[in-house]
C-alpha cells in the first residue's frame, strides 16, 4: 500500500451505529489511517442507540486536509452534518480531488448539499430518494451503487457489499 491512505469517517449525534462502526473497523483492519471527524475535536457523539464514539479531529481542521476517502454513515447525523459549511466543503473537496466518497442510508443527503450527485447513479434509504432525484441523481434500488468515485448504499443490511466496494475503490 505504500503511504497509508487517509480516510475521514464523519460523525454527529444520532449516527446509525452499524453504518459507522462496521466500515470504520474494516478499514482500520485493512491498514488505512482512519479518522473520526466531527464538528468538534475530542468530543463524544452518541449513536441512535446511545453508543458513544469520540472524534479525533474537528471539521474546521479536517476541511483543509486532503483525504483519500470520506465515509458518511446514516442515521440522523447526516442531516445535522449538512448544516455545517465545513462538512459540506470537506465532502465537495474530496470529490473534486477524485477521492472516494461513500455514503449509506441517509448519508447521501450530505452529498445533495455538496451538490455532487447531478447525473450520477446513486442509491439510499428510500426516504431520501426524492431529495437525490431532485438534485439530479439517477436513483437505483440496489444494495450498492458505484459511479466513478461515488459509492452509495441503502441500509445496514447492505454494509458488507458497501464496505467491499469502498475497499476495492481504495485499492485502484
**Cα four-point dihedral sign 60, 66, 71, 72:** positive
Residue from 154, 153, 149 nearest 168 by CA: 149
Contact criterion met (CB below 8 Å) for 154 and 125: yes
Active-site amino acid positions: 105-106
Pairing of strands 33-38, 52-54: unpaired
* Nearest-angstrom CA–CA distance, 14 and 71: 16
* Nearest-angstrom CA–CA distance, 102 and 123: 11
Residues 6+ apart with CB under 8 A from 96: none
* Nearest-angstrom CA–CA distance, 45 and 100: 24
Amino acid at each position: 500500500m505504500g503511504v497509508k491512505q487517509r480516510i475521514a469517517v464523519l460523525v454527529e449525534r444520532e449516527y446509525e451505529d452499524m453504518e459507522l462502526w462496521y466500515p470504520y473497523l474494516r478499514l482500520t483492519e485493512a491498514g488505512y489511517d482512519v479518522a473520526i471527524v466531527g464538528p468538534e475535536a475530542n468530543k463524544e457523539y452518541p449513536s441512535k442507540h446511545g453508543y458513544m464514539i469520540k472524534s479525533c479531529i474537528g471539521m474546521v481542521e479536517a476541511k483543509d486536509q486532503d483525504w483519500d476517502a470520506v465515509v458518511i454513515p446514516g442515521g440522523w447525523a447526516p442531516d445535522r452534518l449538512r448544516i455545517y459549511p465545513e462538512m459540506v466543503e470537506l465532502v465537495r473537496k474530496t470529490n473534486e480531488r477524485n477521492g472516494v466518497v461513500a455514503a449509506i442510508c441517509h448519508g447521501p443527503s450530505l452529498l445533495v448539499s455538496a451538490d455532487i450527485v447531478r447525473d450520477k447513479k446513486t442509491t439510499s434509504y428510500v426516504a431520501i430518494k426524492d431529495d437525490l432525484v431532485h438534485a439530479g441523481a439517477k436513483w437505483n434500488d440496489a444494495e450498492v451503487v458505484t459511479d466513478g468515485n461515488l459509492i452509495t448504499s441503502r441500509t445496514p443490511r447492505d454494509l458488507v457489499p458497501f464496505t467491499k466496494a469502498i475497499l476495492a475503490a481504495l485499492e485502484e
